[in-house]
Amino acid sequence: MMTPPLRISPPLALRLHDALRGLTVAEGVECWLERPWSSERRFAANTTRTGVFAWHDLPGIPPVVPVGSTATTPWRLVVSDSARRFLKFERTLSLPRPAGLLSAPVGAFGAVEGSLPLYAGPDADPTPQHGCVRARLIVATSGEPARWGPPRGS
């Protein structure tokens, strides 16, 4: 019986950029992976000199996998900025994944090749591109104030 060809499972890598300015962001931003169903601690990314966040030797992710293997494990990527310049976001990933930087789809708003966008938060430094809109949003059917997030009951 022939052994299937193997490939080295590369580390997960991630680059972030300010969607408004188009600049790479690494300083002051924290990225970690966690298993959605587990109480295991967070697995923080290492930041490279070029501003890329990378993870190596994640538990349950083998260093070598058979070519064509579709076995994956769900993980939650969390990106947070303690200075509140950018909004926190979470994204579910299936690991291991093919080599390359995790990035936004081509043509996505604010996309920079090989990068995920960060959107301005409440403490972002204003730029000429910033604007301010003040409004009171209400739910048309109930007259209640609109809220951020998914509809109630979902």
Q: What is the pLDDT of residue 153?
A: 56
Confidence of residue 148 (pLDDT cuts 50, 70, 90): low
Per-residue pLDDT at 48: 85
Domain boundaries 6-118, corresponding CATH code: 2.60.40
Residue-wise pLDDT for 55-76, tens only, equals 887 887 777 767 767 777 888 8
**Partner residues linked to 94 by β-bridges:** 74
The arithmetic mean of pLDDT across residues 89-105, rounded, is: 70
Q: 0.95 exceeded by the pTM? A: no
Q: Where are the domains of the chain?
A: 6-118
With CA atoms as reference, report the closest residue to 118 among 78, 76, 75: 78
